Structures are given as structure tokens and as C-alpha cells.
Amino acid sequence: MIAIIDYDAGNIKSVEKAIEFLGHECIVTRDREELLKADKVILPGVGAFGDAMEKLENYGLVDVIHEVVNKGTPFLGICLGLQLIFDESEEAPGVKGLGLLRGKIVKFPEGELKVPQIGWNSLHLINDGKLFKNIKEGSYVYFVHSYYLKAEDESVVKATSEYMTTFHASVESGNVFACQFHPEKSSDVGLAILKNFVEMD
């Protein structure tokens, strides 16, 4: 059973549909017991860092997420869900993230390109990520974001992408996985990435 954390995030329905399309049962829940007994847990996300952390706090989900991760359940953050698993974001100074991995979220520099980045961009695959099994170098995925990750430990970075700067597009550390792009909106490549996650041992 795949559990999708329900904290009013915008892309929950599309993630749920993608998992069901892959032939897996999933539930959308914020119930502690359901989350702790799930085989895999997904933290989706669209929106602002500060608002999302406030929702997670209000629903009592911060401690539950730490419990899920500490018991070794494979855990996937998507888009804002990637940003939330790190320490902090320039979008919400003073707001603590989940701190599952070390690093910070920073705003794209002002430049000739529009912010947010909205659209398809290619991935450079590094460090042999499990999410990218059988995914080709240079595959295109769909992004929507104004802020990007700078991970403290570059060995956890499994994919980078370029938009005015090189940024960390996907990370993996133990049972914690995350991607800045939306696999659920990234056509066949995205579905293959999600399949790698949900069918992982």
C-alpha cells in the first residue's frame, strides 16, 4: 500500500492517479497509523514553503514523517515535497524545514530567463540513483519552481538540471528520495521513475 500524505497540497490527485495507473493501491491520508503501516510514503507539494510547513505542523504530521523515515519506510518528496525535507528555504526565512537531509532552498537568480521555471528540462544523472534505473541520461521531465535545492552533501544528489545555474534536481539518502520535478506530470519518463520507487524492495 502506498500512502500519499494529505496536507492540502495541490498535486495530490495527479500523484494518486499516476500510482493507480501503475497498478498499485494507494490511500491519501494524514492518519498516523495508516502512514506508519504503509509500504511506501509520498510527500507531494505545490505552493509555498512556509504555508506547507505550517499545515504539516497543524496536522501533527512533522513527527509522523520522522517516525516513518526512522523506521526505514521508503519515502519520496515531490516538488515542494523535496524542498520541505531540507533545513530551510529563502522563501520563508526563519521557518524550519523537516531537516531529514542537510541543505537549503534558494531562489533562482534574476536573469534573462523567467522565474518560475515552468516546463520541460533535461536531467543529468549522477551517483547511480535507484529512482533512475533504466532512465536515459538527458531525459526530459516537467518542472514548476522558483526556488531550487543546494544540498550540503553532494553525494546524495542523483540528478542535476540547468536553468540559469546548475541545480540539484533529485536526491537519495538511505530510504529518503526526492525530486524537484513532477514525475506524475512527466509522461512515460515520470511514470518509469514513479514505478522504480513504488516497486523498490
Which residue of the set 79, 88, 91, 145 is catalytic?
79
182 in catalytic set: yes
How many CB atoms neighbour CB 161 within 10 A? 21
Alpha-carbon distance of 176 to 73, in angstroms, equals 8
Burial code of 97-130, b = ≥16 C-beta within 10 A, e = fewer? Answer: bbebbebbbbebeeeeeeeebeeebebebbeebe
Spatial contact of 28 and 4, defined as CB atoms under 8 Å apart: yes
26 in catalytic set: no
184 in catalytic set: yes
26, three cell numbers:
494507494
Spatial contact of 2 and 184, defined as CB atoms under 8 Å apart: no
DSSP 66-106: HHHHHTT--EEEETHHHHHTSSEETTSTT-----SS-EEEE
Spatial contact of 45 and 52, defined as CB atoms under 8 Å apart: yes
Annotated active-site positions, please?
Answer: 79, 182, 184
